[in-house]
Structure 1
Amino acid sequence: MRPRFFASMILVCLLACSSAPALAYTVHLDGVVNATWSDNPTTYLYVAHADSSGYYYQWNYGTGTLPWTSRQNLVDDLGDNVLNNAGNIPVGDWKVESGGDPFHPSSTIMKTLALTAGTYTLRLTSDSEAYNLKSYQWPNETPADLNVWNAYVEILAVYKNDTNESFQFGGYTGYWQTNEADALAYYRANVDNKKITLAYDADLFFYINDWNTVDNAKSVTLEIVPLPGSLALLGPGLAMLLAGNFWRRKRG
């Protein structure tokens, strides 16, 4: 084998490899642990007035021990319209607001990923689930309130220049379905391969946007693929050109 041919073939292989699909990142979000409302970053549980006029009880991570050990323990305590475990607080019509899993609390709700500036494609992984935002029937609800299946992910990009930008994979209104199969089918047909562009290097924070997380179930998993840079995109063309030149020389 002639040295010139050998060198050409090495260059062809290197350029072809440079155009291979970029490394994909995956982010898995649990429907309870990684869900919060309005980007509240730490675990919390509130018992609120049903008309949203205020709160009977508020607990945030780091402010002491939550007086209930499970969702059912909380519901049982509310059975007589008194928060017995929280100092015998009387309540009227109530609702629960929560973020993360307050019964197994953590200082961090969101998943994070550091990415460089550029354009990225977002899609569900092949084995991703959808999550159910209403898997539990509260005492003041009916079966018709159950089954709100979605794969919506909220993304906050905090840039290195101290600015930020929000992105959404999917949404709520018009996106959720009454069963998991339909939710996944809708997202794969209408949302997969969404592109986002990061103006600068950034830390990305991923979370499920929901005002009451303790009645959720299952999860969602995203794949984030960086689009190849301009040099990588030139790879196939240059490789074919070099290969063509070699075969013309060989035939000549």
Structure 2
Amino acid sequence: MSRTTGRAGAVLVASVLMVAGLTACGDDDSSEGLPALEDAEKGERVDVDDFVDAIEASFVDGASAQVAFDVQGPTRLRGRGVVEYDADGMNVDVRITDWQVEGGWISLRTVGGAAYMLVPESRGLWVDIGADDAGLADSVMQEADPRSQIDLLREAITEVRYNGDDVVGGVPARRYQVQTESAADPTEWAGGPDVTEFWFDESGRLLRRANDLDTGGAQFTWVDWDAAADIVPPPAARVITLKELERLRRQAG
């Protein structure tokens, strides 16, 4: 795999939003008799299935939101943009810090299963990530879609507690603390803290997911749910392949 191809995959996985990232396997404690998400008092445990169902319901067909994220690891990634979900996947238009070019940014756009990125060395042209390898964009996008890991998240959670009211981006929110089993491989993004916090708005939609950035965690925020999103492919005349990008890189020395 070329450096550019690996970079494309890393950008897609890290930026796409998303919820799951909790791929450890563990047996959750029995939630029988626990209150539903919106019925809990501060400090009370809540029903795990009800909690995960609320996450899943946030990403229904037709949902869209403004997003922002900060992923802290061996390389820090920050970005923001818009995402829309449909029955077959999700479309994304985000701008991300470029860890290979100081002060640079990468634009990432996914539409209808195709994925494009605009990087400093592409000289204003969009790179079709799947043009040379049709399976690359599909496989990465499947991993990045939060809905693809809902069942794993449900298995990994051992406890959910309501931590009280809060505000996220000016929106009233309910805050929950979630305990999970650690990932077996500490190098995976799923590894690290066993405690993650989630915020939901008054209608039950996900607003934020966060763990401690100081110890290699991440924060994802969804705001302005159902805002209009018009994500379209870049003009065909301004699209190149990964192989063509490699040639541009070699020309630049």
TM-score range, shorter chain: under 0.3
The structure number with the bigger radius of gyration is 1
- The structure, 1 or 2, with the larger RCO (C-alpha pairs under 8 Å, 6+ apart) is 1
TM-score by length of 1: 0.26
TM-score by length of 2: 0.26
